[in-house]
Amino acid sequence: MKRLLTLIAVVVTVGATPLLAGTETPQNIVEFSPAPDTAGEWSYNGAGILSFDQDIAIDTGLGSNYDALVGAHIYLPTFEVTGIPGQPYTLTPLGSTQITITSADNSTTYFTGTLGRGDLLTMGTTAGGFTEFKVDVTDIFITHEGATLGSAALAILENLQLPSLDFELSLQGGSGSGYYSFAQMLDGGFGGSGGFSGAMSVPEPATIALLSFGGLALARRRRMKR
């Protein structure tokens, strides 16, 4: 199975949050972006390495900015970008493949998971990342501290014992001196930086989810059987 990602450079408001079949569980688990009052960005070195300023905060849990997980920090791995020139480009976690959610002071770990290899699709100055396989984040583990935090988002994961999550990433920017699009930056070997946002969500094979991330929406289409 393979998903197709469409990038829409407008804010899309989610009118009704999709539910996991047979439950009352919202599809979207967490959304994240650079922490408030920081200049958090993605950075590309012009030679195949995409990294992130790691002051990244959880904005919502289960669609609520009152969830106990809001304000916690999420760590994203550095990626190697291959398939240059041309697209889809491939994102491969470089070094550590682990996504980690910790307390705001980074002293306590709440969640860990393993991120797989993915695709990077570009559209003008923007880009979006998603895995080319069935699911993105596996080997999910909720720590004791995470289980007792009082987060509805983490409680859903623990109670349903979900083996995996989808991961979505929105990259803004990607234009600068000598190039005018994200693809030109990659293909021409230019460095660049810009804002970003993303989410982890329950895999949903039967519906279309529209997720609004800081002015750039990612629309994920229905998975089709081969």
Q: pLDDT (tens digit, 9 = 90+) per residue, 152-185?
A: 999 988 887 667 899 999 999 988 889 999 999 9
Contact 214, 172 (CB under 8 A): yes
Asked whether residue 224 is assigned to any structural domain, the reply reads no
Instruction: Please say if the pLDDT value at position 222 is more than 80.
Output: no
Cβ pair 67, 60 in contact under 8 A = yes
User: What does pLDDT average to over the chain?
Assistant: 79
Q: Does residue 91 fall inside a structural domain?
A: yes
* Domain with 39 in it: 5-219
Q: Are 90 and 83 in contact (CB under 8 A)?
A: yes
In the predicted model, is pLDDT for residue 143 greater than 70?
A: yes
Q: Residue 69: pLDDT above 50?
A: yes
Whether the pLDDT of residue 5 is over 90: the answer is no
Q: Which residues pair with 67 in a beta bridge?
A: none
Q: How many C-beta neighbours within 10 Å does residue 13 have?
A: 7
Residue 31 lies in a domain: yes
Do 73 and 106 form a contact (C-beta atoms < 8 A)? Answer: yes
Tokens of 68: 């106990």
Is 226 within a domain?
no
Please report whether residue 225 resides in a domain: no
- The answer, yes or no, to whether residue 213 has pLDDT greater than 50, is no
Higher pLDDT, 29 or 3: 29
Q: Does pLDDT of 19 surpass 90? A: no
Dist CA 107 CA 102 (whole Å):
7
**Structural domain count of the chain:** 1
